């Protein structure tokens, strides 16, 4: 049985972490498969990826502690570095990655959400970084991404106390722009987000994602320079010609799949 189910519908692919007996824990096989499938979707010119967990209990309960428990320092460093690289690849993907959070998302599961573009939360979602209670710390980018998303003080409190966020609290704090939905509505809601993005100009979407990624750590001036270059390419491209023409003619735009990656 595959640890990751892959289902393509049109220009959108859904990746389901398939380890429900282990609360969809993230071992090295799962993490590697996620990175590979997101990369393959982008290379194939698809418009969006949805990541979710199998079953009703967990998106992902985090790293596989059975795997971690037998590691020495060198192997642990290698595993963390590999996981960070995979999550960074997901974060930098030239197409959006929507996290459909169907239950528990702890440790590495929450860190995976932080690496995705837009989370969509079920009312049953619960997120946290409980590593400090195990004598550990977040190792897949949580100490760096959580403060950027929720602010340093909130991030410090969550990581130092192991406090969990329910879906309503996460929405209130700004983890997601969308209010939580009932579990039965989760995948349709995630697909609606993906479909909405897929209807936009694909090169424009890639340019926006690129500008957002560069701007995370760059001074404002450097980020603006990247934005200017990407915006100029967009204005001069055929995609904007179709988009503007469709707007003026009051019809839906018909965007072609991108031939290259910005």
Active site residues: 111, 131
Give CB contacts under 8 A, 24+ apart, made by 81-86. Answer: 82/28, 82/31, 82/32, 83/26, 83/28, 83/31, 83/108, 83/139, 83/140, 84/139, 84/140, 84/141, 85/35, 86/31, 86/32, 86/34, 86/35
Question: Is 98:190 a contact under the CB 8 Å cutoff?
Answer: yes
């Amino acid at each position: 049985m595959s640890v990751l189910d892959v289902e393509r519908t049109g220009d959108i692919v859904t990746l389901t972490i398939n380890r429900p007996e282990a609360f969809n824990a993230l071992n090295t096989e799962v993490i590697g498969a996620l990175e590979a499938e997101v990369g393959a979707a982008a290379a194939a010119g698809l418009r969006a990826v949805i990541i979710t967990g199998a079953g009703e209990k967990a998106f992902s309960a985090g790293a596989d502690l059975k795997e971690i428990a037998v590691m020495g320092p060198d192997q642990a460093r290698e595993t963390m570095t590999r996981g960070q690289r995979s999550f960074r690849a997901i974060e930098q993907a030239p197409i959006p990655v929507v996290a459909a959070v169907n239950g528990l998302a702890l440790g590495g599961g929450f860190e995976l959400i932080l690496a995705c573009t837009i989370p969509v939360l079920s009312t049953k979602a619960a997120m946290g970084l409980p590593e400090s209670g195990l004598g550990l710390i977040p190792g897949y980018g949580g100490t760096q991404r959580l403060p950027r998303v929720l602010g340093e003080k909130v991030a410090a409190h969550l990581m130092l106390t192991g406090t969990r966020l329910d879906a309503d609290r996460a929405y209130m704090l700004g983890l997601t722009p969308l209010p939580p939905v009932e579990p039965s509505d989760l995948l349709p809601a995630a697909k609606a987000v993906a479909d909405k993005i897929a209807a936009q100009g694909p090169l424009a979407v890639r340019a926006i994602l690129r500008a957002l990624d560069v701007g995370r750590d760059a001074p404002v001036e450097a980020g603006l320079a990247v934005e200017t270059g990407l915006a100029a390419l967009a204005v001069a491209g055929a995609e904007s010609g179709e988009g503007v023409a469709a707007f003026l003619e009051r019809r839906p735009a018909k965007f072609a799949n991108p031939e290259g990656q910005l």
